[in-house]
Amino acid sequence: MKNGWVEGRVASPVESRSEAGMKDQAHRQIGTHTAPDLDAIAALTLLRKDKVDIFLKGGDENLESAALMGITIVDRGRGEFDHHGRNQRTETSTSLVAQKLGISKEPAIKRLINIVQRSDLQGISSPFDAPDLIKCMQRTRIADEEIVKMGTRIVEDGIKFSEQKLTRDNAATQQLIKEFLSTKKVNLPKFQQYINNLSNPRFERPFDIAEILAVEGEKGKEFIFKLLEVEYEDSLNYLTAMIEARNAWKTVVKGETIVADFSDNPRFKDAARNEQKALITIQRNTNGHTQIFFDTERISDSIIETLVSMIRLEECLIQRRELPKADLRKAEYVEGIPEWYYFKAPVIPGKKKEPGRFILNGSIAAPDVPVSKIPMEILREIAVKSVIFQPFNWVRWKTERIAFYLHKKAEGA
């Protein structure tokens, strides 16, 4: 295998031990979701796949037929290598692959599993580490094939750094970043903070630029500059998003800010949360898709579950669908309401950061999800009332909304 891997590398001990586990996977085609994240890419790396045959653009639909077609689906499809919909609290697609290959106890792989868990289940990343680098690729719309190629290289370097017990050279990494910035006009805080951190020779950050440099040396300079270029573009987008969030529609309810407006900037939600201190951020793209994000350190699950149930009810009523019998607070999808996906990461014992929560009507990783018919003004109203109406009287709300739409229907609206 050559593309996306360090040229001329020797098979690692982990690879040697996983050869037997790979035999039943070698002949199969591989698939994952579009805009692959670190979990998908790390799983592909362990499977020794740096090329993907199919990128799925829908939601978390069941893809059992894929197995019959000889396709191994990673991080989607509810199959062997997809952690979604499972009861295990700390599993990721990467950890499932590692268990299958019998390498999950290897120190280098445990280190990888830990950073994937932090990223995928808790939404934690640090500037210039693997989760952050891959998120920047997603947000700057790098082609799927290129994300896989670059991402597997980052992950492979991080594994090799650990296995070979290499030493970081923070000073050399710092100089390399300064050389990159010497041609740039804007001094970005994210870069400056990382440079400052690297001034400390004891500074460590797993799977970051310094580890890539330690593994690849001078021959990796072009690749590192390519990664820095992606980071730079993403940081410029954040500056634009700060202005967008400042000018966006917002309201304060019970002392908490709600921001809700139209934007295609993938950093809009970050700027709304960081700069405007938004408890809830609603972002509608020009293609009609809508994403709803939360400051999970301050919001309660009761507000989030009130909001998702209100939205799903509204979608059914506005499209004149039969109301499902399922609990509308349910995580992931509710059958009959394909528009809205509720991501509810598990609470991990011993972890201080609150687990991730968001509500998606389509996303970078699921662009083919049907567009919601709920107007922005109604989404804003629902968000406001989800905060005001606590504790929430579901029966009253449901009765009032059904009556509202029955009245509209009677008037011929």
CA angle 263/265/269 to nearest 5° reads 80
The DSSP output letter for 256 is E
* 166: exposed, middle or buried (Cβ count in 10 Å: 0-12, 13-18, 19+): middle
Helices and strands (DSSP H and E) totals, the chain: 15, 10
What percentage of the chain reaches a pLDDT higher than 70?
A: 85
Please report which helix (H) or strand (E) contains residue 27, including its range. none
Q: Is the CB of residue 149 less than 8 Å from the CB of residue 163?
A: no
359 beta partners: 292, 342
Domain ranges of the chain: 249-410
280 beta partners: 258, 294
CA 40 to chain centre: 10
- Which of 59, 385, 375, 127 shows the shortest CA–CA distance to 270? 127
List the single range of 45-49, 113-117, 234-238, 325-329 with lowest mean pLDDT: 45-49
* pLDDT tens digits, one per residue of 266-292: 999 999 999 999 999 999 999 999 999
Q: What is the Cα–Cα distance from 136 to 226, expressed in whole angstroms?
A: 12
Which regions of 295-374 does DSSP assign to beta strands (E)?
Answer: 332-334, 337-344, 357-361
The DSSP output letter for 277 is -
Q: What is the Cα–Cα distance from 313 to 310, expressed in whole angstroms?
A: 5
Architecture (CATH level 2) of domain 249-410: Roll (3.10)
Highest mean pLDDT among 3-12, 81-90, 124-133: 124-133
Q: Is the CB of residue 215 less than 8 Å from the CB of residue 160?
A: yes
Characterize the bridge pairing of strands 337-344 and 357-361: antiparallel
306-324 in b/e burial notation, b at 16+ Cβ within 10 A? bbbbbbbbbbbbbeeeeee
- Which of 231, 45, 58, 224 shows the shortest CA–CA distance to 137? 231
Sequence length of the chain is 413
Q: What is the Cα–Cα distance from 383 to 282, expressed in whole angstroms?
A: 9
Answer whether residue 26 shows pLDDT above 70.
Answer: no
Answer whether residue 17 shows pLDDT above 50.
Answer: no
Q: What is the Cα–Cα distance from 270 to 323, expressed in whole angstroms?
A: 34
> In degrees to the nearest 10, what's the CA dihedral of 359, 306, 93, 2?
10
Report the pLDDT value the prediction gives residue 59, as an integer from 0 to 100.
53
Token output for 128: 């210039």
Answer whether residue 21 shows pLDDT above 60.
Answer: no
Report the pLDDT value the prediction gives residue 77, as an integer from 0 to 100.
62
Report the pLDDT value the prediction gives residue 54, as an integer from 0 to 100.
80
